[in-house]
């Protein structure tokens, strides 16, 4: 008999098939037993019917507990009453393993308990919906960049130097040297952009941040495009296109999962170009009007981002932050050299920053000066300076955080559910 | 004027366009000047013609050096004599930056010099071909698994415990704990496979190996599928399908790049199912016949793999190694409990192992015993044991190393050229 997956069940109506999976739930009603079987691709109602009171399959049914594994054989039927519209008339059950005392029961559990059992929590319908949307977001991003001729150029994780400041580095021994886990692939992207014109990297990045907020992970995935000859405006356009593409793709392909999460899709349907653009200066004004004690020159924290994010229906692009709150490689604004040609995109509905980027310094002397000002070891940045020595061009790029984007699209409270195994402050298990 | 990329130039014949790029080469012939411009997506011949001996564009031409950056405007012409079949009749040159003494000249350079200048070496035609093939291999792999309903489930890099032995771990401080960089996503894949049925992870992995061979990187990318209810044979089939798909995709889409590398494609065209399968025992016999001093129970090193790999025209699947040379989680062969239900796939033409995988232990007691035998800290593996407690099922998977696969497909000598920034013994720069 053919082993099929539940997501393909509609193709097998009237046929006898084999399912392999786990007991999600069960119930009895008179002479019928209902088994809800999950196989990782879906959940199917499997019915056992007997005209007699006793039946060997009834005995097996009794034995089965939540999350017990089994093989079920039977005939596929279309049935409008069944959840999903199909069911299996069970002819045979082969029990593989009886699960005893599965810890995650239908009753509510605390978050810390669920996080300790993340390896099992992943089996739930809600986690399935979130992680399927995550996979869709990732696929959409790759299709977007591949479709526009961007070259995927993986950047290294083990690096001799920092990209985003030196206070949040994970350090490891690299034989006789010290290595740091990459905070961003950007510096390397700049090298590959000079070689391939338009590139992206997509991988895990690391920040040893002591923040315990609903927006921080210590290990998170980021996609980072970089374009030679691009200006700040070019990459804002690119960022808009990307976000519009991701959202419409999820709306198109993951309707069911959004429903499972009770996500009101109306706010997502409004995500179209152009997005509002304001300057950092405008943002300060808005924040002051809302009663924040904030001065020009201060960086935004989570509360500020939340307020700004809530002020717009679409993602808002905040440009031209003061240079001094940004990384060393930021290109100064020719109209005001205290400002950076940079952009942060804040997702709406209070979600805050999902994108950060801008134009990079392309002048050798200016970059050298900044590296010195930031007390960075020049020998580690010699190759990076070289990019300004041999055919330097203006260039720009950005990074989009996957988990924050997924959290916003799913409208969930905490980023920890947007990745299979989150790494947070004091949390590395399982 | 429209900024276009060279890879799209055929669409603009007869039109005036703008190119942005770098000088790859130049030459003069009478009243014509030829500029070879690269923009990352291709190289285009740009011609400057003047009936007069002097011309302002001739002066600019003189000024341009290898890798200087510029914007060129002109009319696209079809011309069979031009490399690639198209050329640009230059009307205007805007010099962006003159490169002085570009270190990588057309004369030969030593490998160590090229590795020190990897950030610039990436601009060469050969590196372009290899890294385009790498990107194609990666896209093919994702399409393969996504198309078969596998769920992408990213696994963590920072982990509390080892997967492939404890001698090759990169260690870092994780607040008050110790963390190790992941050697494989497999253990976590097993959890997600129980939740999603069939999954894959795809990311960087780390082995602090003190090996300085042409096959080893300390940081390399690996794709790892894992399938609940799959047996050894199931995943050998899957591995065969994957490798056939990757090779045919590169043959189909990257013909030009294979030509650039002078890759004889005949051996690749032979890669079709089924692949030869031999047991470890057979392999020992072959090696003894070839004069190797090897005994049953010894693991294979590079020389052994090379010989085995050269004995077949297609990748060869070597199954059932002795348990004691394999990792703790390997399922014993029911017919001979000293052997593992495992498989290594060795690429032909002397390339050796590209895939390793097998069935995992699904019995709780047996796994617990193995964890104890290997002196692994049980508290770190409690979640992994849980997978055998709650609906355990037979399951199997494998890992395919991207760089080794690319090295074989490109038929290049050393794996260091298959990733933008290789991390090797004593080499972390740039």
Digit-coded pLDDT (tens) for A268-286:
999 999 999 999 999 999 9
Give the span between the Cα atoms of A229 and B120, in whole angstroms.
17
Give whole-number Cα distances, A194 to A173, A228, A310, B127, in Å.
Answer: 31, 6, 38, 13
Yes or no: say if A396 and A226 are a contact pair by the CB < 8 Å rule.
Answer: yes
Q: Scanning every residue of chain B, which has its alpha carbon at the shortest distance from the alpha carbon of A156?
A: B421
Q: Do A219 and B156 touch (CB under 8 A)?
A: yes
pLDDT score at B2: 96
pLDDT the model gives residue A325: 93
Which of B7, B118, B119 to mutate against chain A (most A CBs within 10 Å)? B119
pLDDT of residue B309: 94
By three-state DSSP, how is residue B299 classified?
coil
C-alpha–C-alpha distance, residues B39 and B30, integer Å: 27
> Which pLDDT does position A95 carry in this prediction?
98
pLDDT score of A107: 87
A219/B158 touch (CB, cutoff 8 Å), yes or no: yes
Q: Which residues of B touch A182 (CB under 8 A)?
A: none
Tokens (6 digits) for B368: 């617990």
Tokens of A412: 């969930």
Residue B70: closest CA among B36, B101, B102:
B36
Sign for the pseudo-dihedral over CA of B126, B128, B134, B136: negative
Q: What angle do CA A265, A267, A268 make, to 5 degrees?
A: 65
A139, B119: Cβ pair inside 8 Å? no
**Which of B70, B178, B195, B386 is most worth mutating to test chain A (most A CB atoms within 10 A of its CB)?**
B195
**Cα–Cα dist B68/B279, whole Å:** 57
Domains in chain A and their CATH numbers?
Answer: 2-97 (2.40.50.140), 118-418 (3.30.930.10)
Give backbone dihedrals phi and psi of B36, rounded to 5 degrees, phi first.
-95, 115
Residue B299, phi then psi, degrees to nearest 5: -85, 165
Q: Is the pLDDT of residue A408 over 70?
A: yes
B264 vs B126: CA distance, rounded Å: 15
Alpha helices in A32-124 (DSSP H): 56-63, 111-116, 118-121
B80 CB burial (10 A radius; 0-12, 13-18, 19+)? exposed
Return the residue of B nearest to A147 by Cα.
B139
Name residues 270-299 of chain B within 8 A of A (Cβ): none
Separation of alpha carbons A225 and A193, rounded Å: 9
Q: How many CB pairs under 8 A join A and B?
A: 264
Closest CA to A39 of B386, B141, B151, B399: B151
Q: What is the mean pLDDT of residues A341-350?
A: 97
State yes or no: pLDDT of A110 exceeds 90: yes
Residue A164 gets which letter from DSSP? S
* Tokens encoding B143: 């399409």
- Among B342, B345, B315, CA closest to B328: B342
Q: What is the pLDDT of residues A203-246, one digit of tens each?
A: 999 999 888 889 999 999 999 999 999 999 999 999 999 999 99
Residues of B in contact with A425 (CB under 8 A): 175
Interface of A with B in 3-62 (CB under 8 A): 3, 5, 7-8, 20-23, 39-41
Mutation for A interface: B40, B133, B190, B249, most A CBs within 10 A: B40
Q: Does A361 touch chain B (CB under 8 A)?
A: no
**Closest Cβ opposite residue A123 in set B102, B149, B195:** B195
Q: Which two tokens stand for residue A8?
A: 């393909």
- What span, in angstroms and rounded, lies between the C-alpha atoms of A394 and A362? 6
Per-residue pLDDT, averaged over A149-171, amounts to: 88
Q: Residues A82-86: what's their mean pLDDT? A: 90
3-state helix, strand, coil in chain A (%, to 5): 35, 30, 35
Query: In chain A, whose CA is at the least distance from the CA of B20?
Result: A229
Q: Which residue has the tokens 């010699």?
A: A382
pLDDT score recorded for residue A165: 67
Q: B40 and A197 in contact by Cβ < 8 A? A: yes
Please say if the pLDDT value at position A163 is more than 80: no
Distance of CA B132 to the CA centre of its chain: 10
pLDDT given for residue B163 in this prediction: 64
Chain B residue numbers with beta carbons less than 8 Å from the beta carbon of A160 are: 428-429
Tell me the CA distances in angstroms from B144 to A79, A131, A179, B221, one per residue in order.
Answer: 33, 19, 35, 17
A1 touches chain B (CB under 8 A): no
Contact A172 B171 (CB under 8 A): yes
Mean pLDDT in residue range A189-216:
94
The CA distance from B268 to A424, in Å, is 45
Given a cut of 50, the residues of chain B with pLDDT beneath it are none
Query: Would you tell me which residues 97-126 of chain A have a C-beta closer than 8 angstroms to some C-beta of chain B?
Result: 97, 99-100, 102-103, 117-120, 122-123
- Tell me how far apart the alpha carbons of residues B154 and B224 are, in angstroms, rounded to a whole number: 10
Tell me the C-alpha distance between A6 and A35, whole Å: 14
What pLDDT does residue A161 have? 79
For chain B, state the CA radius of gyration.
26
Separation between Cα atoms, residue B114 and residue B101, nearest integer Å? 15
Summary mean pLDDT of chain A: 96
Q: In what order do the strands lie in the sheet with B342-347?
A: B151-152, B198-206, B219-228, B395-401, B352-360, B342-347, B316-319, B277-279
- Residue from A122, A148, A139, A158 nearest A40 by CA: A122
E strand or H helix that includes residue B354: strand B352-360
E strands in A216-327: 219-228, 277-279, 316-319
């Amino acid at each position: 008999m053919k082993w099929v997956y539940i997501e393909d069940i509609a193709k097998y109506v009237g046929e006898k098939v084999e399912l392999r999976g786990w007991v999600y739930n069960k119930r009895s009603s008179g002479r019928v037993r209902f088994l809800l079987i999950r196989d990782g691709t879906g959940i199917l109602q499997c019915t056992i019917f007997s005209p007699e009171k006793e039946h060997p399959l009834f005995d097996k049914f009794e034995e089965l507990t939540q999350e017990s594994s089994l093989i079920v054989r039977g005939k596929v039927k279309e049935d409008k009453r069944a959840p999903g519209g199909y069911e299996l008339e069970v002819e045979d059950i082969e029990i593989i393993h009886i699960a005893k005392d599965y810890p995650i029961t239908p009753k509510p559990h605390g978050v810390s308990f669920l996080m300790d059992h993340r390896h099992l929590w992943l089996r739930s319908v809600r986690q399935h919906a979130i992680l399927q949307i995550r996979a869709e977001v990732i696929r959409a991003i790759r299709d977007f960049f591949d479709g526009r001729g961007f070259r995927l150029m993986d950047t290294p994780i083990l690096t001799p130097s920092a990209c985003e400041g030196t206070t949040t580095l994970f350090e490891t021994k690299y034989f006789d040297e010290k290595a740091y886990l990459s905070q961003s692939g950007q510096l390397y992207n700049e090298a590959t952009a000079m070689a391939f014109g338009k590139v992206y990297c997509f991988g895990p990045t690391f920040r040893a941040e002591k923040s315990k907020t609903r927006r921080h992970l210590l290990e998170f995935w980021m996609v980072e495009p970089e374009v030679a000859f691009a200006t700040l405006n070019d990459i804002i356009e690119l960022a808009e296109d990307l976000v519009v593409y991701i959202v419409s793709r999820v709306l198109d392909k993951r309707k069911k999962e959004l429903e499972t999460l009770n996500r009101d899709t109306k706010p997502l349907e409004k995500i179209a170009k152009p997005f509002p653009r304001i300057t950092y200066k405008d943002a300060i004004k808005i924040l002051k009007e809302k009663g924040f004690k904030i001065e020009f020159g201060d960086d935004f924290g989570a509360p500020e981002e939340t307020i700004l994010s809530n002020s717009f229906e679409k993602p808002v692009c905040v440009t031209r932050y003061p240079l001094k709150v940004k990384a060393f490689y930021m290109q100064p604004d020719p109209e005001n050299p205290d400002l950076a040609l940079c952009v942060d995109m804040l997702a709406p509905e209070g979600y805050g920053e999902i994108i950060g980027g801008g134009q990079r310094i392309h002048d050798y002397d200016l970059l050298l000066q900044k590296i010195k000002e930031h007390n960075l070891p020049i020998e580690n940045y010699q190759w990076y300076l070289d990019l300004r020595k041999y055919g330097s061009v203006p260039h720009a790029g950005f990074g989009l955080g996957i988990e924050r984007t997924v959290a916003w699209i799913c409208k969930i409270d905490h980023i920890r559910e947007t990745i299979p195994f989150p790494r947070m402050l004091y949390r590395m298990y399982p």
